[in-house]
Amino acid sequence: MSERLKPNIKIGKYRLERGHITVTIIIIIFFVLILMTLQRSSIHDMLTETQQWYRQHSAELLANTNSTSLELLIENMNDLENISPPEKKKIIQSFNIILTQQLLEKNIRDVCIIVKKGNKLYAVDSGMQLFNFLTNLPITNISNSKHKMALELFNEKYLQIYKEEKIISTLKNGNQFDILVPFAPYGELLGVFYLESKPDFSSITSEFLSSYNQMAIIYISLVLLALLTMFYITSYTVEERDKAQQRLFEEHQEHMKAEIEHLKESTFTKRIYHTHHKAEKVMGFLKEDLHSINTGNIEEIKTKVLKYANFTARAIYDMKWYDPPIQTIRNQIFNTNINEIITFIVDNIFLRISSKMEGVEFELNLDKDLPTVHINEFVIWEIIEPLIQNSIDHATNGNLIISVSTKFDKVNSKSFIIIHDNGAGLLPALLETDSNGIQNVFNENVTTKDVEEKRAGYGCYIAYEMAVKRCGWKLSAKNTEVGCSFIIEINN
């Protein structure tokens, strides 16, 4: 099932969750908004620059057209000094139309002709004044104050105008154009035609940006709709994937539970077999002692029988549990003398097996200052007995000496139990540690026996499980110059 679901529930290398999709959609919308804002600003700048060019161009074109019209009108007239009154009136009216007609437009703020007569400047803004100037008559009703800005600009650009005779336009306050067009009827420069224009295209810009905003809203709405559709579809897909993964996880969990139960049962079965073997041996000793009881050794036999019986009861108790309650292992009510346990095991277990003890000698070096421990004495029995038995089982010579020592370090408040033999020692591979930091000799089903046995490699494993994981001690193995040693470290 996992192989069938794998292509559907894995996107690339990483899992895709709803949170990822939501963040992606928010980022996309955010960047779309930034893009639309930047584009709107760019369009606004483009419109502003385009309108500025067009306003300047239209203002110059209007001023030039009016100046040309005046020049053509003047050039097409007869002798102005000998003209009849009706014709004079008509000419003045034509001048007035050209000079005042432009003021009807809302963008035109000022129109006049600036001429120089003698050393004096005149701002002519009526047909009569222009006619008088052209006929060398006195110019009356001149209002230079009304056209003060035009006169100042003319004075500023005077040399440039007379030198280049080109249209000069200046921009003021960002949206006001002052146009100076050379006024030269008959090819003679008499002055300039001045036009002040303030074109306003804000309505066009507002309308254009308003239309753009509408399009932007429609565009963002379509993008948002597409993203929400994608979110819905992807969320549905992710939800289906999560359901499939949940089902797969539940199946895997059930499988793991079954496998763990199987391993527990297997381990429990091996432990029962191992404990049953020792209990069977102890029951044999108990029967022998009961048969040998007499009035002289009754107290000694009683002590041994109680020990054997209690150990057998403990073995039967262990058969009830995968993991015995911790209070049955470590408890303040227990005050166990380790030296007594070692002495009893050696004297009443190993030295009683005459058929297997030929050529085996025990040396006990027990520190009398070794403090008691709050550990069940039969748990300590289950730790020490397999380690001693391991030295016996793997001996390669007939003169095996097994030394069991205890030592108390008062400075560091630590107790040590050292089981040493003068055998061949352990293989280097058994002293190496695995990924969990455990030496291989203490792993399950690890053995150095020549004959493969179904139940081999379990004694040191039980000793390690009991000492380290249940009692909180430290257990290690090492090779010495002769043989090997098992070292138990206890923090008092």
pLDDT of residue 86: 82
Does the fold of domain 328-491 match that of domain 22-200?
no
pLDDT of residue 259: 81
Q: Within a 13 Å sphere around the CA of 283, how many CA atoms are in the beta-carbon half? A: 11
Nearest to 199 by CA among 183, 181, 221, 176: 176
pLDDT of residue 406: 95
Mean pLDDT of residues grouped by 10 in the chain (492 residues)?
44 58 78 80 76 75 80 73 77 80 76 82 82 78 78 84 83 80 82 81 72 80 80 77 83 84 68 65 77 80 81 73 77 90 87 65 91 90 88 74 93 93 87 88 68 57 87 92 91 84
Can you tell me the distance from the alpha carbon of 63 to that of 180, in angstroms, rounded to the nearest whole number?
A: 8
Can you tell me the distance from the alpha carbon of 334 to that of 31, in angstroms, rounded to the nearest whole number?
A: 72
Nearest to 156 by CA among 105, 183, 194: 194
Contacts of 393 (CB under 8 A, 6+ apart): 449
Both structure tokens of 293: 């009881």
Label the pairing between strands 400-409 and 176-183: unpaired
pLDDT of residue 417: 95
Can you tell me the distance from the alpha carbon of 125 to that of 191, in angstroms, rounded to the nearest whole number?
A: 13
CATH code: domain 22-200 is: 3.30.450
382 CB-contact burial (10 Å; exposed 0-12 / middle 13-18 / buried 19+)? buried
pLDDT of residue 1: 41
Can you tell me the distance from the alpha carbon of 303 to that of 340, in angstroms, rounded to the nearest whole number?
A: 13
Both structure tokens of 453: 């046995």
pLDDT of residue 127: 80
Query: CB of 338 within 8 A of CB of 380?
Result: yes
Can you tell me the distance from the alpha carbon of 273 to that of 290, in angstroms, rounded to the nearest whole number?
A: 26
Query: CB of 391 within 8 A of CB of 402?
Result: yes
pLDDT of residue 109: 82
SS (H, E, C) 442-462: HCCCCCCCCCCCCCCCCHHHH
Tokens 């002293």, residue located: 431
Can you tell me the distance from the alpha carbon of 236 to that of 242, in angstroms, rounded to the nearest whole number?
A: 10
Say which CATH architecture domain 328-491 belongs to: 2-Layer Sandwich (3.30)
pLDDT of residue 13: 53
Domain boundaries, the chain: 22-200, 328-491
pLDDT of residue 5: 41
> E strand or H helix at 163, and its extent?
helix 158-164
pLDDT of residue 8: 45
Can you tell me the distance from the alpha carbon of 237 to that of 67, in angstroms, rounded to the nearest whole number?
A: 76
114 CB-contact burial (10 Å; exposed 0-12 / middle 13-18 / buried 19+)? buried
Contacts of 138 (CB under 8 A, 6+ apart): 132
